[in-house]
Amino acid sequence: MPVSSISKPARFLVPLCIVMSLMFFWNMSRNINDILIPHLKRACQLSDFQSSLVQSAFFGAYFLLAIPAGMYIHRKGYKAGMVTGLLVAAAGAALFYPAAEIRYYPLFLGALFIMAAGFTFLEVTATPYISKLGDPAEASSRLSLSAAVGSVGATAAPYIGALLLLHKEDIPETVIRTYSASQLQNFLAAEANLVKLPYVSLALLFLIMAVVLLFIKLPPIRDEVTGKHSFKDILNYPHLLLGVGAVFCYVGAEVGIVSFMIRYAQSLKLPGLTQQKSALFISLFMGLVLAGRLGGAYILRKAAASRMLVISAGGAFLLVITAILVNGYGSLFLLSMVGLLTSIMYPVIFTLSINGLGNHTKTASSLLIMGIVGGALIPPAMGLISDNVGISWAFIFPALCYVYVLYFAIKGYRAPVRK
């Protein structure tokens, strides 16, 4: 057997493992935010609306930087994009230390924005790089495996974050209100300091990975240039624009549900259900996302993608509405089950949205990534409702989001191309 036939797959194995490890850690870091929200709410004495700005700062970076990151990677290459993303993410994670020292919430938000900016570079880089890192016929298999690896990180994050940032036994607000001014300041400072260890550790990890990546030779991947086209040309594809809205709603609903899961669980006042234990429902949600993605890779080969999206969106809507009407643990399990139904939404929406775009596919991909800004806007809307009406009613927003995804699955993706 010729040496080349053996060396080529082996040549792709190391870079593939590296990129998948990046996906694991950035998904883990991103989903710690769901634990960070209730933690900073107490440490910085915030309302539900103010604490939800954690997601606004994070996902806002995706919206603002998706296209610039794509342009940078187009000019500098995939490896430069990965190294840059890791260094920027490391800088953002490191900023958590001074933010905790002075317990200044805007600095926490700035640190999250910078971290997310780095993750944007990684996300815009990883998917196309993995798809081209080997046999094109096996691209979907590699992407499915990488998504599963990322989901493992997302599933582990709430549990790890809860152990590091939340107390084994909750300290009631009635007890905190009895503290003297000096006791309260000491308590809040101690709460804020809990973020130092995990985020400084992440900063060091990202920095080490960036240095290692500099010394590893990655296979060069060249993108095909298929001619010039204007950005405004994509306005002729209404199904793409409706698809951006579907991504907005899918991400906004999912982020909104997991962001307020702990807060909602606490509002139920169930005996023995601490914040740390409530975080397990977020892990269950993300674990079901992982299971759904693994199963969906097979199911989507047998069933029409649009039909599966109809089932997923309609089912998610019914689960959220039922959860609002039901009390107790049943409500929490229903919300967790939404993770199974939303697991296939993004790849299906993405595929239906770029159908028939030809040379416009790259630009369309950047636009769809910008739709992630739903994760920045839906949680604050939920926070406003929670502060003024009640947290149960806040889940109306995710339910409405799934109604829009259902519309896209039935009709939106069929919108005719404008001549």
How far is residue 28's CA from residue 57's CA, in Å, rounded to a whole number? 17
pLDDT-based confidence at residue 264 (cuts at 50, 70, 90):
very high
Write the pLDDT tens digit of every residue in 175-220. 888 888 899 899 999 999 999 999 999 999 999 999 988 888 776 6
Mean pLDDT of 273-281: 91
pLDDT above 90: residue 403: yes
Q: How many CB atoms lie within 10 A of CB 209?
A: 20
pLDDT above 90: residue 138: no
pLDDT at 368: 84
pLDDT-based confidence at residue 11 (cuts at 50, 70, 90):
low
Cα→Cα distances 80→29, 70, 319, Å? 21, 12, 43
Name which residue leads in pLDDT, 54 or 358. Answer: 54
Lowest mean pLDDT among 38-42, 162-166, 266-270, 365-369: 365-369
Mean pLDDT of 316-324: 96
Q: What are phi and psi of 61, to 5 degrees?
A: -65, -40
- How far the first Cα of the chain sits from its last, in Å, is 53
Write the pLDDT tens digit of every residue in 230-245. 567 777 788 889 999 9
pLDDT-based confidence at residue 2 (cuts at 50, 70, 90):
very low
Q: What are phi and psi of 356, to 5 degrees?
A: 80, 15
pLDDT at 196: 93
Please name the residue that has the structure tokens 């691209």: 139
Produce one character per residue of 220-258: b if its CB has 16 or more CB atoms within 10 Å, e if not.
Answer: eeeeeeeeeeeeeebeebebbbbbbbbbbbbbbbbbbbb
pLDDT above 50: residue 4: no
Lowest mean pLDDT among 15-24, 217-226, 274-283: 217-226
pTM of the model: 0.83
> How would you class 34 by CB atoms within 10 Å of its CB: exposed for 0-12, middle for 13-18, buried for 19 or more?
buried
How far is residue 298's CA from residue 304's CA, in Å, rounded to a whole number? 12
- Residue 391 corresponds to which amino acid? I
Q: How many CB atoms lie within 10 A of CB 71?
A: 12
Find the radius of gyration of the CA atoms of the chain. Answer: 22
How far is residue 20's CA from residue 44's CA, in Å, rounded to a whole number? 35
Instruction: State the DSSP string of 52-67.
Output: HHHHHHHHHHHHHHHH
Cα→Cα distances 328→217, 265, 331, 333, Å? 54, 8, 6, 9
